[in-house]
Amino acid sequence: MFKELIKKITEWALEKEEEAAKKCAIPIEEIEKQLKILHEKKEELQKKCEEQLREIDALIERIEKIKVEEELRCKLKEENKN
Protein backbone atom coordinates (compact mmCIF):
# COMPACT_ATOMS: atom_id res chain seq x y z
CA MET A 1 0.00 0.00 0.00
CA PHE A 2 2.79 2.43 0.92
CA LYS A 3 4.63 1.45 -2.25
CA GLU A 4 1.53 2.23 -4.30
CA LEU A 5 1.17 5.63 -2.60
CA ILE A 6 4.79 6.52 -3.39
CA LYS A 7 4.24 5.42 -7.00
CA LYS A 8 1.15 7.67 -7.30
CA ILE A 9 2.91 10.65 -5.72
CA THR A 10 5.90 10.17 -8.03
CA GLU A 11 3.64 9.92 -11.07
CA TRP A 12 1.81 13.10 -10.05
CA ALA A 13 5.12 14.94 -9.56
CA LEU A 14 6.35 13.80 -12.97
CA GLU A 15 3.14 14.98 -14.61
CA LYS A 16 3.60 18.42 -13.01
CA GLU A 17 7.21 18.54 -14.20
CA GLU A 18 6.13 17.60 -17.72
CA GLU A 19 3.60 20.43 -17.70
CA ALA A 20 6.23 22.88 -16.46
CA ALA A 21 8.74 21.64 -19.05
CA LYS A 22 6.24 22.26 -21.83
CA LYS A 23 6.12 25.89 -20.67
CA CYS A 24 9.94 26.03 -20.44
CA ALA A 25 9.60 26.63 -16.70
CA ILE A 26 12.23 24.06 -15.68
CA PRO A 27 15.89 24.76 -16.40
CA ILE A 28 17.63 22.08 -18.46
CA GLU A 29 20.28 21.85 -15.73
CA GLU A 30 17.63 20.72 -13.26
CA ILE A 31 16.40 18.00 -15.62
CA GLU A 32 19.98 16.85 -16.24
CA LYS A 33 20.59 16.76 -12.48
CA GLN A 34 17.49 14.59 -11.97
CA LEU A 35 18.57 12.29 -14.79
CA LYS A 36 22.01 11.91 -13.25
CA ILE A 37 20.48 11.01 -9.88
CA LEU A 38 18.17 8.46 -11.49
CA HIS A 39 21.03 6.86 -13.42
CA GLU A 40 23.05 6.61 -10.20
CA LYS A 41 20.11 5.04 -8.38
CA LYS A 42 19.61 2.59 -11.24
CA GLU A 43 23.27 1.52 -11.09
CA GLU A 44 23.04 1.13 -7.32
CA LEU A 45 19.91 -1.01 -7.57
CA GLN A 46 21.41 -3.06 -10.38
CA LYS A 47 24.50 -3.83 -8.27
CA LYS A 48 22.34 -4.83 -5.29
CA CYS A 49 20.16 -7.06 -7.46
CA GLU A 50 23.17 -8.73 -9.06
CA GLU A 51 24.68 -9.30 -5.62
CA GLN A 52 21.46 -10.84 -4.32
CA LEU A 53 21.14 -13.02 -7.42
CA ARG A 54 24.68 -14.33 -6.86
CA GLU A 55 23.74 -15.17 -3.27
CA ILE A 56 20.59 -16.98 -4.40
CA ASP A 57 22.54 -18.87 -7.07
CA ALA A 58 25.02 -20.00 -4.42
CA LEU A 59 22.16 -21.22 -2.20
CA ILE A 60 20.55 -23.07 -5.10
CA GLU A 61 23.87 -24.73 -5.90
CA ARG A 62 24.31 -25.85 -2.28
CA ILE A 63 20.77 -27.25 -2.08
CA GLU A 64 21.15 -29.05 -5.41
CA LYS A 65 24.36 -30.62 -4.11
CA ILE A 66 22.58 -31.74 -0.95
CA LYS A 67 19.77 -33.19 -3.06
CA VAL A 68 22.17 -35.18 -5.24
CA GLU A 69 24.04 -36.48 -2.20
CA GLU A 70 20.79 -37.47 -0.50
CA GLU A 71 19.50 -39.22 -3.62
CA LEU A 72 22.73 -41.22 -3.88
CA ARG A 73 22.67 -42.07 -0.18
CA CYS A 74 19.06 -43.27 -0.38
CA LYS A 75 19.74 -45.28 -3.55
CA LEU A 76 22.74 -46.99 -1.93
CA LYS A 77 20.70 -47.69 1.18
CA GLU A 78 17.96 -49.31 -0.93
CA GLU A 79 20.50 -51.36 -2.87
CA ASN A 80 22.10 -52.59 0.35
CA LYS A 81 18.69 -53.74 1.62
CA ASN A 82 18.25 -55.94 -1.43
First to last CA, the chain: 59
Question: pTM here?
Answer: 0.59
CA distance 36 to 7: 20
Other C-beta atoms closer than 10 Å to the C-beta of 41 total 10
- pLDDT, averaged in runs of 10, over the chain (82 residues): 80 84 83 90 93 96 96 86 73
Task: Kindly report the average pLDDT of the chain as a whole number.
Answer: 88
CA distance 48 to 54: 10
